[in-house]
Amino acid sequence: MKKYDVVTTISYPKKGAMGKTGNWRVFRPVVHKEKCVKCQRCWIYCPEGTIIQNKDGTVSIDYDYCKGCGVCANVCKVKAITMEREGKEK
Amino acid sequence: MAIKDLPKTECILPGSAACPGCPATLGLRLVYKALGKNSIMIVPACCTAVIESLYPNTSFDIPTMNIAFEAAAAGASGVEAALRIQGKTDTTVVAWAGDGGTYDIGIQALSGALERQTNFIYICYNNQIYSNTGIQRSGATPKGAWTTTTVGGKNEFRKEMGEIIKAHHIPYAAQTCVSYPEDVYNKVKKAKEIKGPKYIEILAPCPPGWRFGMERTVEMGVLAVETGAWALFECENDEMRFNGKSKLILEKKIERKPIEEWIKYQGRFSHLFKPTKDTKTLKVIEEHTDQMWNRYRQCYL
Amino acid sequence: MNVMIDTGNYIAAKAAVMAKPDVVAAYPITPQTTLVEGIANYVASGDFKGEYICVESEHSAMSACIGASSAGVRTFTGTSSHGLLLMHEMLHWAALARLPIVMCNINRVIGPGWNIWADENDSLSQRDTGWIQFYCSSNQEIFDTILQSFKLAENKKVLLPVMISYNAFILSHTSMPAYIPSQKEIDDFLPTYDPQWKLDVTNPITFGNIIGPEHYEKVRWDMQKAQDYTKKLIPEIANEWKKKFGRHHGDLLEKYRCEDAEYILLSMGAIGAESKVSIDNLRKENIKIGLARVRTFRPFPNEDIRKLAQQAQLIVIDRNISIGSGGILFNEVTSSLYEQVDTKVTGFIAGLGGKDVNFKDIENMCKKAISGKAKNSQWYGFEEVM
């Protein structure tokens, strides 16, 4: 990445530019892999892009940045994702 | 292009300043799956300008130029001319603006850029309000909607930007919605291959702006299309073509759901239901939607 | 070297085209129109090989220039009066973005009512935008200054946009001869543009997102430093031009017969040119008076003026008025002299609304100042008849 010397508002790409936005969550999505049909709907609809596509076609959540909006659970047609309260005991 | 076959590269990095459930970041992710990294984006004042996050960092892994509220399309004309003269004609120039910067303050620059055939894609992500400044009404706000400047519900119907764009006779114009990723992808991909000015408007249901649970962003878009409040179509060289459910509604192969089925889930319309049901206004909105579809049938069937 | 006898606008168009900008985005407004028409003619003849964007407003003209400059190319535009005011927001933007855009502004009166003649309220009301500002007094100076401005703006330690102002009709539509160097000579003087930041798909920056207070202050500091540096660079570039082409229109000020002057007149633009005639006439009457024509208004030549004030009383003519305060040049001159309370400064407001100010008027103003009967500040030829 080339950095410019000019003193003006030039910003450079950074993952987590607002920090670890995972700490915004009240609810966290939990993927129940046994139910997952690997349709990738949750991955495409995630507004934050924090759904990771695993090699086997299932998905995982990047909890560092997931804001817990629940869209993934909402769009999953087989209810393989549930929203659970943060800090709740497993 | 099926969802699972869409490109994997992400141009919008996680950890941005966007609200949870934000349709703008969802829209950007979809658009960039079709555009790829060989593009430059011009963003006026709007939510996206904030979503980029704070200097010296940005959440966007794509060259982005912020510009004043009314100037997106004019800035894009300048960028495009500069790239063309440098021989970089394969780089896609995209203006990404909200409905405020498109329907209202930015309409002049947009109209000018379309008329002078700027080779770019103008994408309006429409959440039907000025959301960046805190949910004030825009020319895209539908009748009856609460906003901070139309507290009792907006009296006027929204503009039909699609019709205004059609009058510019550009090679490609389209309406789509974040809830239909393949539709967004196909339309952006098509636009990318066409030379000349292109316009794509993406309905973007906004949880804080429309007052619905942040998990229902995609649902609200689907209902907008199923009730006919929003149509999916494309216009290629003045030939109109409706898509998906909108096509079926146009051809009367299915009935559009009553508008209530969309607005009853949104807090911005709750004053039409509580303390008493405002049947008069609901009827007016329903009739207006009927009229819009009858006009579509007359003109485009 | 060729001689071109043409109006200020057509000579400006020639200069602009010879600087080889890659993008020109402009919107017509009287009396700038023949400037953009001049460039359009060069588009048709093939002499201008850049992109010429006919935008739909001046705000869009500056926005398009900002877009183009951000994408890494040399840009030029022109406007006047209401057009300049319409692009006001984007003038600030261009300077804060450190984009070396060059623009001609034809000084025209602001309405309502509609008035197309010359006064300088339009450009002077933009003095806080961060743009470097030149005021020209001849078509030759317009040509020379435009080329010098590109070199100035694009300097790595400057990177600020430059506005070259000249009076409506008196210069814009009046033919004067100007020596035009060859394209090769211009190319030797002005190298190809080397952008110091740009939008580039191989280097994905975001320009202009949210910036916090501590960082923003640094941006402003650097802009101020840049304009301070131009106080040194403007005379250097003018000197380089003089060596190459034999012509010099002054540094920040153009001093005329100031060496033994007891009174020094400060004026700008067309009045500045006319002042030389008045100075010569007054000298014939043994009045020891000289002219310091203000060539750059930004950066403001404080140090130069303080020096002149040590030797002479100052007379200032303003073809503008800052309502609620006074003549803008007068205000900035007197504030430069805040430590020199002994210097007498007499200000005149003259030529507002395009009212003609000829060498006789200027002589009358100087004589009134010298007589000791003048107020600190007055409206010439107006208050007496009010």
- Residue found under tokens 């000084």: C107
pLDDT at C53 over 70: yes
Residue-range domain boundaries for chain B: 3-300
Q: What is the mean pLDDT of residues B209-214?
A: 98
Report pLDDT for B1. Answer: 81
Check residue C144 and give its pLDDT. Answer: 98
- The yes or no reply on domain B3-300 and CATH 3.40.50.970 is yes
The predicted pLDDT at position C247 comes to 97
**Cα torsion angle, B77, B78, B82, B88, sign:** negative
% of residues, chain A, pLDDT over 70: 98
Chain A nearest-CA residue for C200: A2
- Exposed, middle or buried, A4 (CB in 10 Å: 0-12/13-18/19+)? middle
The answer to pTM > 0.80 is yes
> What is the set of domains in chain C, with CATH numbers?
2-245 (3.40.50.970), 253-379 (3.40.50.920)
User: Chains A and B: how many Cβ contacts under 8 Å?
Assistant: 130
A39: nearest CB among B3, B58, B217: B3
Share of chain B above pLDDT 90, in %: 99
C55 pLDDT tier (thresholds 50, 70, 90): very high
* Cβ atoms of C162 and C131 closer than 8 Å: yes
Chain A residues touching B265 at Cβ < 8 A: none
Q: Exposed e or buried b for every residue in B65-79, given b needs 16+ CB within 10 A?
A: bbbbbbbbbbbbbbb
> What mean pLDDT do residues B155-184 have?
98
Q: Report how far residue A81's alpha carbon sits from residue C324's, in angstroms, rounded to the nearest whole number.
A: 67
Q: Which residues are C105's β-sheet partners?
A: C79, C165
* The pLDDT of residue C341: 81
How does pLDDT run across C280-304, given as a tens digit for each residue? 999 999 999 999 999 999 999 999 9
Set of chain B residues whose Cβ sits within 8 Å of the Cβ of C218: none
| B22 interfaces chain A, CB cutoff of 8 Å | yes
Domain assignment of residue A14, yes or no: no
Residue A89 binned pLDDT confidence (cut-offs 50, 70, 90): low
Q: Round the average pLDDT of chain A to a whole number and report it.
A: 95
Give pLDDT, residue C340. 87
Answer whether B14 touches C (CB < 8 Å). no
With bands split at pLDDT 50, 70 and 90, how would you rate the model's confidence at C1? confident
Domain of residue A67 covers: 21-85
Partner residue opposite C67 with nearest CB, options B50, B65, B84: B65
* Model pLDDT for residues C100-126, shown as the tens digit of each residue: 999 999 999 999 999 999 999 999 999
Q: Is the sign of the CA dihedral C378, C379, C383, C384 positive or negative? A: positive
Calculate mean pLDDT across residues C362-367.
Answer: 98
Residue A88 pLDDT > 80: no
Prediction ipTM score: 0.96
How far apart are alpha carbons C38 and C172 in whole angstroms? 12
Of the partner residues C57, C68, C89, the one whose CB lies closest to the CB of residue B82? C68
Cross-strand partners of C7: C175
pLDDT surpasses 70 at C385 = no
The string of pLDDT tens digits covering residues A22-41 is 999 999 999 999 999 999 99
Closest-CA distance of chain C to residue A2, Å: 6
Flag if A9 and C204 touch (Cβ within 8 Å). Answer: no
Q: What angle do CA A56, B60, A31 make, to 5 degrees?
A: 30
B76 pLDDT above the threshold of 70? yes
Mean pLDDT rounded to a whole number for chain C: 97
Phi and psi at residue C224, to the nearest 5°: -65, -45
Express each pLDDT in C232-284 by its tens digit: 999 999 999 999 999 999 999 999 999 999 999 999 999 999 999 999 999 99
Output the pLDDT for position A90.
54
| C295/C272 Cα distance (integer angstroms) | 9
Which of B52, B56, B63 minimises the CB distance to C200? B63
- Asked if the Cβ–Cβ distance from C73 to B82 is below 8 Å, we say yes
CB contact under 8 A, C219 and A7: yes
Which range is least confidently modeled, B198-212, B245-259, C330-344? C330-344
Structure token pair of residue C144? 């020379």
Nearest to B82 among C59, C72, C201 (CB): C72
**CATH number, domain at A63?**
3.30.70.20
Decide if A6 touches C, using CB distance below 8 A. Answer: yes
Is the CB of B134 inside 8 Å of chain C's CB atoms? no
With CB atoms and an 8 Å threshold, state whether B20 touches A47. yes
Count of structural domains, chain A: 1
Tokens of B51: 């979503």
List of residues 6+ apart from A24 with CB closer than 8 A: A67, A68, B20
Residue A71 is assigned to a structural domain of this protein: yes
Contacts of residue B150, defined as CB under 8 A and 6 or more positions apart, other chains included, come to: B137, B141
The answer to whether the Cβ–Cβ distance between C25 and B78 falls below 8 Å is: yes
What average pLDDT does the structure give for chain B? Answer: 97
Q: Do A12 and B56 touch (CB under 8 A)?
A: yes
